[in-house]
Structure 1
């Protein structure tokens, strides 16, 4: 079916970053076939489905480049703690009790939240990943999935985890009509011994998939790396051959200028998680320096347990404001740059720039229609500025992934939201022993 959305302001996020007033986007069989001014009435008649979007803004689907979706079950369970205490005393003991059922409903809760807030692609690192993949397949979202591997365990368990991660990456790569791609994911330098990281990198090379890993999230883990291995984490991973593979690192908060140069030299991509890093008091990533050196910086939410939401509109605004205040430079991260971080830079970070991330003919039809009738959109000066500084996730009216309508008028069409809320709340109460309001 040939679909046309017309009469909208189109923000392409392409190389020229075109903004088209009274524009239109058309797609067929999941592929964008037209981006430009609104066609005349005669030309519009050639389409099977025609949507008058006057007053709306259309932009590429947002891309969340770091998430642990199933941890939505632990949203609000343990707040206002430093990372290591939060992880070791609160998160890991409960996560050790997660079953496939927890991951199924927790990740489905997260997917519903992401779709309703305009995210069309997410990166997920977790366990029981077959459940997440099946949810992706059924809900219509796009995802980059990896079985996260923590190596602080006996050798036989390490081997089993690695084989499971390889089997998952092999089985699901290209699934869901190409909406699923896969990575290999050693959790972090402080949770995986060096030889184990080498094994995982070798597996990534064997499977020809990228690597995703946490990097330098806290000062404490950097200091530990120096104590244990004599070098900081970036050099440590470089020596282990991680950066010889296409690599996406999460956080990258505590970096020296020399480390930034190494990341740039090796084409390493960074997922900036401002909300989570602020809440856990991990620090502020040197995003302006990374961008200045040509490093691709995208946006991630991390988990709903450390954020506490999966709203990329909030992350865009945080990224634009945070670095202005931190550097005392109002140009540190302009609005257009923040929007690119959530769209085209996100596509680059997941090695799919040729397929998603911008509204261009030939790319997949992942797009979001925003309603601009609310007071906070007026007066209409600059649509890019309004998307980053004024828009809210509640403005999302329609979401398409691969040309399929998955959200309409703020309602997920592919998810039974009432059932998901019930099951997630039931499991959370059983898991934590807490009464839920």
Structure 2
């Protein structure tokens, strides 16, 4: 057992248990014994096997990401930056993302790139919502991240054959089999010797899962004491599909199935019954989410690219909805995502007062922890996991440093992240990932993207080259 002490940090973002909030501690110390924090405050006088000089550093809790897709999204950089189906309300889900998917041999490098970007932006706990792949457990363990594996499964595949109608190909037995395979993988994660892997039960999307699959998966999650997450209220197409099938909004239909509650997470939750674009008659969804204790995973960047935004973060918080944050798309940069959360909320509310940086930081830490049913991450306090981030407050983009968390989120972002500890182990040092070869994986991924572009026309109903719907910024000379 070894004790590490970070001594006399310029700032420590500690946890005020009496008021249930983060607090700045100038000149603070943080001590941890292997994977557990044993002291947060000033004037630590206990033993130390290693002392880290904290001058010029802010020590803050590692960020908690409750929604991400590392096994696919990094490949989409340069493909989907400006792409949305005009006849499908500008979503890219149904026409383009089904075409532009990585080949199996590229998945591991997608994961390496995403995990690296997450570590460099201060994430220590990650919910990885992927389709199961052979390297998953090994890469998760190697990364050093605390990872909640969330293997997705569904009863139907979606797609379009004309660009304006979404069709569903149903195979209920395949969905049931995939759920069992997901549960088996979760068992392996929970038993992993690293002690950093856990599981979440995740039927993929509300419109691709049968009512039985949704209910049964939720019951299994409750039986195991695991969180449960489903993509819902994420597109205009989905909203209309669910109201057409059931006469209820997506949130109301999930409530009718009995699957909302404090262990449930709605991935995105943008298209509520009062969303202007939905044009629905009721106004109940926000109160349903709050009253049931259901969390929302908010990931604004991917929607901003399509001209879509939640209306708005502050409104959900004031209604009593727990919100956690995620990185649903590339780059997997949690600090940039937090900046987007703040700006788009204020834009949609037409007010700078709809959320504070306090609200934002809580969503990225204790709000995410609450959604994952944990109280030992997302805060710096004795007894919590030694998951923490050291930020270089002397970095020029952190200056002036009157309020270091604001300087980090609104200006410096990952450029000022110097060191990251997960479970007491250094996984980022000197601004470089030490557990994965980020640079080499990124180069290999570039080659894989070229292969995807060659294959894409054969997957497309219209056999179009990628340049037909995602042209380069400038023509090639």
Same fold (TM over 0.5): yes
Report the CA distance shift for 1:13/1:345 in structure 2 as closer, same or farther (over 3 A). farther
Aligned to 1:90: 96
Q: Which of 317, 325, 340 is the equivalent residue of 1:291?
A: 317
1:125 matched to 2:129? The reply is yes
Q: 5 Å matches for 1:418-433?
A: 418-433=439-454
Gaps in structure 2 of 5+ consecutive residues: 157-169, 275-282, 455-465
Point out the more displaced range, 104-113 or 165-174.
Answer: 165-174
1:339 matched to 2:361? The reply is yes
Q: Which of 65, 72, 75 is the equivalent residue of 1:73?
A: 75
Determine helix, strand or coil for the equivalent of 1:88: coil
Alpha-carbon distance between aligned partners in 2 of 1:155 and 1:325, rounded to the nearest angstrom: 42
Report the CA distance shift for 1:107/1:263 in structure 2 as closer, same or farther (over 3 A). same
Q: Which of 371, 374, 386 is the equivalent residue of 1:349?
A: 371
| 1:176 Cα offset (Å) | 4.7
Alpha-carbon distance between aligned partners in 2 of 1:244 and 1:87, rounded to the nearest angstrom: 27
What is the RMSD of the two structures over their aligned residues, measured on CA atoms? Answer: 2.2
Please list the CA deviations of residues 19-49 of structure 1 after superposition, one character each: whole Å capped at 9, or x if unmatched: 100111111121001101144xxx37x3111
Alpha-carbon distance between aligned partners in 2 of 1:343 and 1:93, rounded to the nearest angstrom: 35
1:26 matched to 2:31? The reply is yes
Please list the CA deviations of residues 187-218 of structure 1 after superposition, one character each: whole Å capped at 9, or x if unmatched: 11112122332232233234332211112112
Aligned to 1:185: 202
Q: 5 Å matches for 1:78-227?
A: 78-82=80-84, 86-95=92-101, 98-99=103-104, 101-152=105-156, 153-227=170-244
Equivalent pair of 2:265/2:296 in contact (CA under 8 Å): yes
Q: Which of 253, 262, 271 is the equivalent residue of 1:236?
A: 253
Structure 1 outlier segments of 4+, above 6 Å: 434-437
Please list the CA deviations of residues 382-418 of structure 1 after superposition, one character each: whole Å capped at 9, or x if unmatched: 2233233233211110000000001101111111234
Point out the more displaced range, 66-75 or 148-157.
Answer: 148-157
Please list the CA deviations of residues 158-184 of structure 1 after superposition, one character each: whole Å capped at 9, or x if unmatched: 232122112112221253533111111
TM-score normalised to the size of structure 1?
Answer: 0.91
Aligned to 2:327: 301
Alpha-carbon distance between aligned partners in 2 of 1:79 and 1:381, rounded to the nearest angstrom: 35
Aligned pair count reads 426
Point out the more displaced range, 74-83 or 159-168.
Answer: 74-83
Alpha-carbon distance between aligned partners in 2 of 1:248 and 1:188, rounded to the nearest angstrom: 12
Determine helix, strand or coil for the equivalent of 2:5: strand
| 1:338 Cα offset (Å) | 0.9
The structure whose residues are more often helix, as a share, is 1
TM-score normalised to the size of structure 2?
Answer: 0.84
| 1:135 Cα offset (Å) | 0.9
Equivalent pair of 1:82/1:281 in contact (CA under 8 Å): no
| 1:90 Cα offset (Å) | 1.8
Gaps in structure 1 of 5+ consecutive residues: none
